Amino acid sequence: MSEAQQIISVIKETFGQADLPICVVIVDSEGLELFSTKNCPEVEDTNILGIMAYEQMNEQIRSRLEKGIDLMVFRIDQDTFFVAPIIEDLYLLAKSDLNRLGHVIPLLEGLRKQIAFKISQLKE
């Protein structure tokens, strides 16, 4: 099994059969979708823009504070988006309304950390 296939397997295993109330997508740094909890066309349209915005903001903050940001949340109209890196070149993105997303950020952070840990285990 290739490394990419192993990573996708880890992601699917981590999410299992969870029925999340929001749309969650795992993408690479080019915006290519590797996993999605459901059909999320609204997230597809903002994948690469969200990643670019995160990277640019993180770079600016790092240059001034010598530490980066863990995640970014932004709104477009009534939609709220969550962007966070899992490992280098792999991101977790989510989309929902502000109230619902606010309640699941701890869950998203936990999933992100769990996936990162499992991927690090693959590389050992």
Mean predicted confidence (pLDDT) in 56-64:
94
pLDDT confidence tier of residue 29, bands split at 50, 70 and 90: confident
Higher-confidence residue: 20 or 27? Answer: 27
Burial of 81 (0-12, 13-18, 19+ CB in 10 A): buried
74-118 pLDDT tens trace: 998 888 999 999 998 899 999 888 888 889 999 999 999 999 999
CB atoms within 10 A of CB 119: 18
pTM: 0.89
Taken in order of first residue, the domains within the chain and their CATH numbers are 3-122 (3.30.450.30)
**What pLDDT does residue 37 have?**
86
* Distance separating alpha carbons of residues 10 and 14, to the nearest angstrom: 6
Q: What is the percentage of the chain residues whose pLDDT exceeds 90?
A: 45
* Distance separating alpha carbons of residues 115 and 118, to the nearest angstrom: 5
Instruction: Determine the straight-line distance between the first and last CA of the chain, rounded to whole angstroms.
Output: 16
